[in-house]
Amino acid sequence: MYPKLQILCIGIILIAILGPGSVFADPLANYERCIWEQLQDADHEMRIGELKRLCLDLPDPLAHPTVSDSEPLAPVTEKSISLVERRLHAEKETRSNPFVLSPHKQNYVLLASYNDKPNYEVYNTPPSEFDRLEMKFQLSFKIPIVDSLFDTRADLYAAYTNLSFWQAFNRDISSPFRETMHEPELFLAIPNDWQLFGWRNVLQQYGVVHQSNGQGGYLSRSWNRAYANFIFEKDNYLVSIKPWYRIPEDNDDNPDIDDFLGRYELRGIYKRENQTFSLMLRNLFDGERRDTLQLDWSFPIHGRWRGYLQYFNGYGESLIDYNAESHRLGFGVQLTDWL
């Protein structure tokens, strides 16, 4: 790939993912904009709780039939507003906008990502042909299919995630895309409100997902899963427990993939003001030392631009080398986070 064309491609990706006119909706953008506008125009006697309820479109406690006139109203604080519910409210506000796609997983570009344990032999080419330093980016969005399925609280979504590894700096071999993974899925999202040891289960998801690298022959990798995802929240902490079942296939390109990627995923998220820290764990205590972890840190830079630092150590970062250990550190920019 010619240098000028390479620079143009990088620019297009950055504009598409991170530009001010991005089609991905920031989950908190509308809420924060509403808070700012109300601070400018609201009556001086308006309470903070009233302002937050107005922007979140929450029911007014004064109108609740179980609250008597003699009972004092519980103060509305930042901790009383669920982070997950806040995101769901923000997504519903833009659901009818045809020019907006709601984010599903994180959307980011790692401008520089270094892997000190590459598995380039799988391509049947000399390892020296590939660079250890490359770009990694993810595009992920979801589309509501049916609201309130069968008159229940369940919403049906379709989603798609693209994760790519790009040898952008490797001009000797024309800067190819080393690996691109496609992940369409269909899932139900069900808001919930029960507690376990002080943790509130705010959302449950049940779905089916296909993941493939779009290759053929000996480079082909794919698998299908049915999964459940239980999301718990407490204060500024969120924990998700996601077990899955691999759907058997007749022509299996990678029959042992669940031995390396495991049969569940654990994720913990801590949000402190405008910073987000997350930890992902897979395949713990399997007896084969195939445990996997990923650490993320995102922080504000300017406007909707956020810095992003990612560390990965384990198996299954990409499908092409799911059975080889990766050890990667990257930094870049992020448009949308989990919360």
Q: Which of 22, 182, 212, 220 is catalytic?
A: 212
Q: Is-catalytic flag, 210?
A: yes
Q: Give the three-state DSSP class for 297.
A: strand
Under 8 Å between Cβ of 245 and 232: no
Q: Which residues contact 24 (CB under 8 A, 6 or more apart)?
A: 17, 100, 101, 102, 103, 107, 141, 335, 336
Element containing residue 147 per DSSP (H, E):
none
Q: Is-catalytic flag, 318?
A: no
Q: Which of 22, 182, 210, 327 is catalytic?
A: 210
- How many degrees, rounded to 5, is the angle at CA 181 between CA 179 and CA 186? 180
What is the distance between the alpha carbons of residues 254 and 322, in angstroms, rounded to a whole number?
9
Residues paired with residue 228 on neighbouring β-strands, in sequence order = 206
Distances (CA, A) of 317 to 8, 116, 202, 314, 326: 27, 14, 28, 8, 7
| Catalytic positions | 210, 212
